[in-house]
Structure 1
Amino acid sequence: MAGRWKHPGLIGELAAEFAGTMTLILFGLGVVAQVAGGGIGDHDSIAWCWGLGVMLGIHVAGRTSGAHLNPAVTIALAAFKGFEWRKVAPYATAQFLGAFVAALLVRWNYTEVLHAADPGLTIKTQGVFSTLPGNGTLPVSEWGALRDQVIGTAILLFLILAVTDAAGTPPAANLAPFVIGLLVVAIGMAWGTNAGYATNPARDFGPRLASFFTGYAGAFRDQTGYPYFWIPIVGPIVGGLAGAGLYQLLIGRFLPAAAPREPGELPTPDRAEATRG
């Protein structure tokens, strides 16, 4: 008979965040490389595969770390849900590293395809690894992209808290990863035009850095030459705080307290925060 489950400690949590984020990015970047480099698939296949990647990443890391997989999520949970601030920087670092390693693997595996589609490794295939305003082709300004990232990530965090709040109406039978995956699909289909729905600083900066180190000299700039890299970092953090705060203001503070849970544990229908802001 298995013994009582023991919390793995911070090292275990960081390993889970690394592995979960890596899983997410392997599927997310892989599908974009297939579409942009090989011409196989379309926008819908990209949206669905990103959602599936999120779902699988949550399954990988959920029990151990809570499967944040996103610095914007980690910061918002620290601000509004009692996650320990001392863990925010280590979690974010693990997430960035997981995304960076996954991007290197995708870059390596799709080397022939990417060089055939874009021999100069230009803005044409830069979108495989990092987001661009208007997806590199539409007339969306950098400030329009920042607005988009704030709004899109606010929606993401508002609904993640709604789905995982044990005092609300969470999915039964551990279906939260599936529902959150569907949420990402929906955001991709409804909010993907203006800025590629990064909604995750690790998802964008880790692969952006990996692409820079592997031949994409313009990785930190957009199609106009603007140093765009900061927008998918700042926008999601601001939007995540706004979305989580709005959830607490409109919904969370009116719900009854539920049973306490371990910090970082993935919320389930029978365990949640004992206190609310």
Structure 2
Amino acid sequence: MDRLLKKCRIRSSLARECLAEGLGVYVLILFGCGSVAQVTTSRNTKGEYLSINLGFALGATFGVYISKGVSGAHLNPAVSLSLCLLGRHPWIRLPFYIVSQFLGAFLAAATVHLQYSDAIVSFGGQEVSGPNGTAGIFATYPADYLSLGAGVLDQVIGTAALLVCVLAIGDQRNTPAPAGLEPVLVGAIVLVIGVSMGSNSGYAINPARDLGPRVYTYIAGWGEEVFRAGRCWWWVPVVATPLGAVVGSLLYELLIGAHFPDTDTLTEELVMANHHALQLEGKNPDGQIPKPANHYNPQELLERPS
């Protein structure tokens, strides 16, 4: 078996990263949309709204565990875009990541449909909206009271909150997550966004999570209504979530990240502190305080593998 696996090993780092992103998103959507399917088709007798929140949260957790060591576990085009803007991910890889994330979500939606096809038929078939609507198993749709403007704001705020928290737990200059627990905390972020911001439109906060399954439902029989429903809602998760990610990234960097002392400042403060201490002891500090040979660069610890 080891010999066979070695022959299957992919040498291209970009190809490995794309496979990791695709599988990570696949697991996220498999558990997330699977939980929606169970709650919906059972008419809330085998789960409830919190079950959906937990499904997406744990799906995100395991998706990150699967792909973090290979691709950095973006699992979200909005996250990939923000990291490119921050200079932590190469722009040339961005389109490949986005396509992989989209395909992972598309295939996961197909798997959920395969699993729950009989339940969907029994529930009411391939209706988009109404009491027997099943398209919401796969993609997000706005509540009846929600205007498009309010929906855009909802997605911007939710995705901005996601990025602020994700950047915080990965910032080695701040209070970073303990090694190995980052995926758990990412899942916790998804959970708290779901329980606090999910009722308006289902907290997509991820263009691939929404568009991939929506395209699948269009192909699989729900038809063009999946793009017309909710006053043509489909574009809001695609456009507003990257905007929210950029807003969240800028908020974190402008309010927190930009204000940590840089390497040179830390070195000078260390030298000056030692200089004053030696003066108090009556010693001549000149030439006695070498600067550290290895400079600590906190930015390096923030860069995801690429």
TM-score, with structure 1 as normaliser: 0.88
Instruction: Give the Cα–Cα distance (whole angstroms) in 1 for the partners of residues 78 and 71 of structure 2.
Output: 15
Amino acid of the residue matched to residue 247 of structure 2? A
Aligned residue for 2:97? Answer: 91
Residue 44 of structure 1, aligned match among 50, 61, 68: 50
The residue correspondences of 1:1-277 to structure 2 (distance < 5 A) are 9-39=13-43, 40-123=46-129, 124-134=133-143, 138-217=144-223, 218-223=225-230, 226-256=231-261, 257-258=297-298, 260=300, 264-265=304-305
- Unmatched tracts of structure 1, length 5 or more: 1-6, 267-277
| Cα pair distance change 1:69/1:120, threshold 3 Å | closer
Give per-residue Cα distances to partners, 1:89-133, cap 9 Å, x unaligned.
110000000000000000111001111112243321111011111
Q: What is the rounded CA distance, in whole Å, between the counterparts of 1:73 and 1:178 in structure 2? A: 17
Find runs of 4+ consecutive structure 1 residues off by over 3 angstroms. 261-264
* Larger CA Rg, structure 1 vs 2: 2
1: CA distance, partners of 2:237 / 2:29: 15
Separation in structure 1 between the aligned mates of residue 238 and residue 226 of structure 2, nearest angstrom:
15
What is the letter of the counterpart of residue 305 of structure 2? E
Q: State the one-letter code of the partner of 1:143.
A: G
* AA partner of residue 156 (structure 2): V
How far 1:8 moved relative to its partner? 5.8
Normalising to structure 2: TM-score of the pair? 0.80
Aligned partner of residue 235 in structure 1, secondary structure: helix
Any unmatched runs of 5+ in structure 2?
A: 1-10, 262-296
Give the number of equivalent residue pairs.
Answer: 256
- In the alignment, is the contact (CA less than 8 A) between 2:172 and 2:301 conserved in 1? no
- RMSD, aligned CA: 1.8
Counterpart AA for 2:227 = F
